[in-house]
Structure 1
């Protein structure tokens, strides 16, 4: 990893960068889809303020091409990559080694270059996820997590540090749910946190919704404008009739702002959080890992993303 450096030292020798030249360093995002992503907006705003001659690009990539593309971009001397849905577990194959957190949850959202054209797999989603929850006391609370992919793994890792009482994972695939619980139960049991999985195709999940103090949507449901009205809310519309106003709703999706699901929560007087702060914070942590600079203009990243959302 890049040793930590002083930003002021760098700024003294660099002015704000805006023109892409033959010397510009490239970083970027791999996922499918990526056309909705705010990452290029906020990253490039940060690089300009930091005086880094870097350019961040979003690149669509199908699962079958992921390993080849990631390796090719390393040979092209990309300074770093972010990984988004649906590749956070598949990209493990492209990593030469993993950071402790990435290895523990077996999910990667950040690739850091190392020698011999290899990648180190890291995960900054955990820190990003926790930031909006820092003012909420969740000790001994019941949490429901919708989805069991790479983002859900980071969420559960984050929840393990908040001393919650119980985590219920809701999903549609029995096999995937079982694998998820098996791979995370050891970590949680050490901290006295219970975990169970519920297949919402086979069981009524209403009691879990009613009892939850915090519900987190880690799926992409609600992100796409092409979804039908019934499909743009996690678990469908009807299930949320039983929602209590004491429940916090946290949607990892940040566009549209707010999502239909969060609008339902607001109508029920729930406290709601979208995924923008998580996106910004995990992005800032990625920049620190790639550049070695600790001082990253987080507020500039957030304001540039918000301006784009209002367009």
Structure 2
């Protein structure tokens, strides 16, 4: 790895959140900066919700090229940005801000990109234009469903513990989304080619996802956006049945690529070294 050079002309970016100490984005971006020998720095920026717009407006004044946005600021970023691209508008949240040459702030969302790129990397050759079942109806589910519809999924079946939220998500996104009751989640697996868990069930410190996989076709791919632990109970159960499984770490890694290219002018890849670096920072469960 090349030594990282930082000068008074360094390009700056960061991640805005509250709290922000949990974010692994500094590991990712500073690894790339060092690897490519770029004069730049990526910083954690702890910003309380009431200060977010003021802090965002300060980015151009402080010489920042942009920033990532994490909880709880993703919706505020969408509302406060000068420009919002079509993907962020559809998802309803922004995770990436880019300062333009004239000092305006453009908002986008790279979560859908990261989700699909993770599947393509970790399950090469998998057909993603298949009927899918998505569990959960939060912000991550919105990005996942946008990604699946854009990848050609003929139908997305959506199940959430609160049906009303799933109905609202389906209505806002449009397209071939069918909502089912949470109690019917197992039966909805029949005929699916892809199962995606976007809930926190199965995350370290949370209850496991209770799901009977008997109706899921054996050729179906199973993925979980959770990456603490990497092998969630859902993935372990699916793998035991012979399914190909994909953990959620790659989504985090790949969603970082477009922002890095915009801020630092270099297209980057997700390498085994980077994945290993971030894996070492994940608590063993």
Q: Please give the TM-score of this superposition, normalised by the length of structure 1.
A: 0.77
2:74 counterpart of 1:125: no
**1:286 and 2:272 matched:** no
Instruction: Give the deviation of 1:69 after TM superposition.
Output: 3.5
Which segment drifts farther, 156-165 or 80-89?
80-89
SS in 2 for 1:253: coil
Aligned partner (choices 177, 181, 194) of residue 214 of structure 1: 194
- Residue 226 in structure 1 maps to residue 205 in structure 2: yes
Partner of 1:306: 279
Give the conservation status (yes or no) of the 8 Å contact 1:107–1:153.
Answer: no
Which residues in structure 2 correspond to 1:1-311 (within 5 Å)? 16-17=3-4, 23-32=9-18, 34-61=20-47, 63-114=49-100, 117-134=103-120, 135-139=125-129, 141-185=130-174, 188=175, 194-200=176-182, 203-223=183-203, 225-227=204-206, 231=207, 233=208, 236-237=209-210, 239-240=211-212, 242=214, 244=216, 245-294=218-267, 296-299=268-271, 300-309=273-282
- What secondary structure sits across from 2:230 in the alignment? coil
Q: Secondary structure at the match of 1:152?
A: helix
For the residues of structure 1 that align with 2:161 and 2:214, how far apart are their CA atoms? 20
Question: TM-score with structure 2 length normalisation?
Answer: 0.83
Distance 2:46 2:201 in 1: 19
Q: Which runs of 5+ in 1 are unaligned?
A: 1-14, 189-193
Q: Quote how far apart the aligned CAs of 1:40 are.
A: 1.3
Asked if the contact 1:16–1:52 (Cα under 8 Å) also holds between the matched residues in 2, the reply is no
8 A contact 1:26–1:79 mirrored in 2: yes
State the aligned residue count: 277
Superimposed CA distance per residue, residues 22-66 of structure 1 (whole angstroms, 9 cap, x where no aligned partner)? 554432223455444322112101001222222223345554543
Deviation at 1:92, TM superposition (A): 0.7
Cα contact 1:88–1:151 (8 A) shared by 2: no
Which structure 2 residue ranges, 5 or more long, are not aligned? none
Q: Say which is worse superposed, 149-158 or 23-32, in terms of deviation.
A: 23-32
RMSD of aligned Cα (Å): 2.8
Cα drift, residue 153 of structure 1: 2.2
Contact 2:16–2:44 (8 Å) recurs in 1: yes
Deviation of residue 117 (structure 1)? Answer: 4.6
Q: Say whether the 8 Å CA contact 1:142–1:214 is kept in structure 2.
A: yes
Please list every run of at least 4 consecutive aligned residues from structure 1 whose deviation after the TM superposition is greater than 6 angstroms.
Answer: none
Asked if the contact 2:59–2:66 (Cα under 8 Å) also holds between the matched residues in 1, the reply is no
